[in-house]
Structures are given as structure tokens and as C-alpha cells.
Amino acid sequence: MNHLVLKHIYKKYSNGADAPYAVKDLSLEIPEGSFVGILGPSGCGKSTTLRMVAGLEEITAGDLEIAGKKCNHVPSKDRGVGLAFEEYALYPPLTVYDNIAFCLRAKKVPKAEVDQRVRAIAATMKVEELLKEKVGGLSGGQKQRVNIARALVRNPKILLLDEPLSHLDQKMRQILRREIKKLHNEIKCTTILVTHDQMEALSLADYIAVMDQGVLKQFGTPKEIYNEPANVFVADFIGEPPMNLLTVTANTEGDGTAFFEMEDGSCIRVPKRLQRNIEDKGRYIMGIRPTDMALTDRRDFDWECEVDVFEDLGEERTISIRIREDFCTMVTQEIQKYKKGDRIHVKLNPERVYLFDRETGERIGKGGYYGKDVQPQRAGGNCAESSDTGSLSL
């Protein structure tokens, strides 16, 4: 059952006819108990979306349904949401206990029950020892725990987290990320996490919604987002080092082979899988991740090119090929060293070549990769031969 449903949500901050939309035609269906990450660069409308779900912002147009009930005008306190902001927003003069108990007391919950619930939630969030402390003296990580505990104590139907980790240092972030993941596994409360950190979303969420300029770019599992980006924006945003995106012109030949001609005139062979999707002389954007390119010999190659920059980073080596102003980078484990000007032969992983429309940026021809992903196979073994994502090895 879908617990939280957003139907064609629009949001404008000012009334003018040509005022920009902060959120535009956003539709999401979020299953009960799932963990959803809303991911995007700053100003993409992700926090606005969260605030609309929380009831802190009015919805300009569209419907918001929680548990099958339309909630557009239900006041925030009656929606059953728990919110934890990036800033802690705790009441500094009160103790941790009073902070957590605050909203229960406001609702006139009997004292015994307040005590029992606060202690239970404090145990879950590991802040039992801090209950008598004043909030002002806590560390960042402790404050964020109390913050989440306060959001959880009212037994929310939906837990909303707005960049809860971005103010913390690396170490604390790591620990709290683990706690959040564990917490969600325990209480299975529908959770929405807003973040700009792709790695945080990939590691925590069951589903990720990628947004840009108020528009939903893709909604899917982390694997779908990573392996099957729906458009250029998602392809470019997810992954580090980023996907190589090359502007190409297609050249189909009579004998059934096809080439992409790049801006600098060099040619790259089109994988068979994509041949039916391209038109002769059509212009596309081709995407390939640095880890999906491999060095090969003269006999069977897709691309012959010249090394511009070679870097040896210990575990792995990167080879960058210059195409006009930009680099196309590949990552390899091979020990062989190269220098500028060496000619190399590159084979692309045909399953993992992405093709995008040059105008709209939309993906053309979904990959053959999809089918394989469905089977929950997890090959273990040496990192070098690695897992089901194949080329993503160390």
C-alpha cells in the first residue's frame, strides 16, 4: 500500500503569473515503511517538498495524501509527521528529557505515559545517559540524536529528516548514518530524507527521488538510479568520478556497423545493442562510466585514442583522453604504465553505454542491464573480479 502519495504537486512562493515554480508537477508514491531519499543540488526544491509534506508550506496546486486521506489543509500537528531539521532547533534551556517530552506534554499526555515513552525512545537513540543534561552542552552528534528522538517520540506515521548529517564531522556522520539505518530497520516507519550528498542517499535509501530545478528527474531504487539513469542530469549527478558524457554524431554503415563521431573527429564503435536506437547523422550524448571502459588490444576494440593524462593512484590508474576542452576518463587496474601521446585501444562495456537525446537529455533505449539487475545475485569474492556490477571493481 502506498502510504504517502503526492499527486501533481506545484509550489510557488509568490503569486505573479510568471513567478517561478519552486516545485513543478511532482508526483511520488511512497510505500509504507520505506526509506526515501530526495536528492538534488541546492535550490532544487527538495526541502520545499519536505516542508509541504510536513505542512509547513502551503501547497499551490495538487494533492497530498497520507494513508489514503487528502491532507492538503490538515494542520501540521495533526498529520502525524515527525521532523528533524539540519539545525537542531532544540530548546536550549531545557534538559534533554524535557526537550523530548515537550510535544507530549503539549498534547496533555498523562505523566506516567510521557515518562515511559521518553525513556523508550531515549534508549533507541542511545541518549539515556544524557536525559538530565542541558541541551546547550551537548556535542553536535548528541544534539542530532536528541533531535531525531524528539521527532520520533510522538509516534509519527512519517519521519522527515532534512539534511540531518550535514553539520556533523566525518566520523560522527558515519556513526549516525549507521544508527539511522538501524533505526529504520527496527521501527519501519516511512522515512523521507532530504540530502544533497549522493553517497548518503545511495547508502541509506530504499528509493531515491532525484530533483533538479523543482522537477523530479527520476524515482527509483539506488541501483536503478546508478545503473539506469533516466536522463543526462541523473547520469551526471550520480557517481564519483562522474560519468563521461560525450557529444557524438552517429554514422551508420551499410554492413550493419555504426560509429559515433566525436567533436574532435575521432570515432567510437556503437555497441550492437544500441544500433537499432540510432539514426544516421543523428546527434546524441553518449555516457559511459570511467569503470566501464577497459583497455584491449588491436584485434577487438571500440575506440582507438591517444592518452593525454595518465595517473597512477596506487590501487588503480586513470587514463584521460582529451576531447576538445574536456576529458574522457577511464579507471583501470592494469599495471601497465602509459605516457602522454601513447595510442591505446579501448573496449566499452556494451551493456553500460548510455545514450541520451541531445535536446531533451532523455535516455534513449533502456539498457540490457535491467534484466540482470532483477536477480538478487551478489557475487562475492575478490574485489578485483567483484560483484554483479562487474566493472565496478577496485
Partner 1 sequence: MAKVTVENLTKKYGKTTAVRNISFDLEDNEFFVLFGPAGAGKTTILNMIAGIGDPDEGRICFDGQSMNFIESSKRNVAMVFENYALYPHLTIYENIASSMRTKAHREPEEVIDREVKRIASLLRLEGLLDRKPSQVSNGQKQRAALGRAMVRKPNIFLMDEPLAHLDAKLRNAMRKELKAMQDKLQTTTLYVTHDYAEAMSLGDRIAVIHQGEICQIGTAEEVYNMPATEFVARMFGDSEINILQGVLRREDSTLKLVLPLSNRSYELPRHTAEVLEASGRKQVDVGLRSSAVRYSWRPEEGYVKGTVYTMEPLGNKVELTVKTEGGAVRLMVPVTETPDVDETIYLAFDVSGGIYFDSDSKEYIVCQKETAGKEGKR
Shorter beta-carbon distance to partner 1: residue 215 or 309: 309
Residues that bind partner 1 (CB under 8 A): 174-175, 177-178, 181-182, 185, 199-200, 202-203, 222-223, 226-227, 239-242, 289-291, 308-309, 311-315, 318, 320, 322, 325, 327, 329, 340, 378, 380-384, 386-389, 392-394
In angstroms, what is the minimal distance from the CB of 272 to partner 1? Answer: 24
| Residue 362: all three cell numbers together | 532523455
Is the distance from CB of 284 to CB of 355 less than 8 angstroms?
A: yes
Q: Is 144 helix (H, G, I), strand (E, B) or coil?
A: helix
In angstroms, what is the minimal distance from the CB of 341 to partner 1? Answer: 10
Q: How far is CA 143 from CA 91, 105, 232, in A?
A: 11, 21, 38
Q: Which amino acid does the sequence have at 349?
A: N
Is the distance from CB of 49 to CB of 56 less than 8 angstroms?
A: no
In angstroms, what is the minimal distance from the CB of 227 to partner 1? Answer: 7
Distance CA(337)–CA(204), nearest Å, equals 38
In angstroms, what is the minimal distance from the CB of 370 to partner 1? Answer: 14
Distance CA(63)–CA(48), nearest Å, equals 15
In angstroms, what is the minimal distance from the CB of 229 to partner 1? Answer: 13
**CB neighbours of residue 187 within 10 Å:** 15
Shorter beta-carbon distance to partner 1: residue 261 or 388: 388
Q: Which amino acid does the sequence have at 144?
A: Q
Shorter beta-carbon distance to partner 1: residue 267 or 309: 309
**CB neighbours of residue 375 within 10 Å:** 8
Shorter beta-carbon distance to partner 1: residue 171 or 299: 171
In angstroms, what is the minimal distance from the CB of 201 to partner 1? Answer: 9
Shorter beta-carbon distance to partner 1: residue 131 or 175: 175
Distance CA(162)–CA(52), nearest Å, equals 12
In angstroms, what is the minimal distance from the CB of 387 to partner 1? Answer: 6
Strand boundaries in 253-323, DSSP class E: 258-262, 267-269, 283-288, 293-296, 303-306, 309-312, 317-323
Shorter beta-carbon distance to partner 1: residue 84 or 183: 183
Shorter beta-carbon distance to partner 1: residue 253 or 325: 325
* Residue indicated by cell numbers 540482470: 372
Is the distance from CB of 285 to CB of 245 less than 8 angstroms?
A: yes
In angstroms, what is the minimal distance from the CB of 5 to partner 1? Answer: 26
Q: Which amino acid does the sequence have at 48?
A: T
Is the distance from CB of 76 to CB of 57 less than 8 angstroms?
A: no
Shorter beta-carbon distance to partner 1: residue 116 or 387: 387
- Torsion angle defined by CA atoms of residues 209, 213, 215 and 218, in that order, rounded to the nearest 10 degrees: -40
Shorter beta-carbon distance to partner 1: residue 76 or 318: 318
Q: How far is CA 387 from CA 148, 180, 225, 391, in A?
A: 35, 26, 18, 8
In angstroms, what is the minimal distance from the CB of 375 to partner 1? Answer: 14
* Residue indicated by cell numbers 604504465: 337
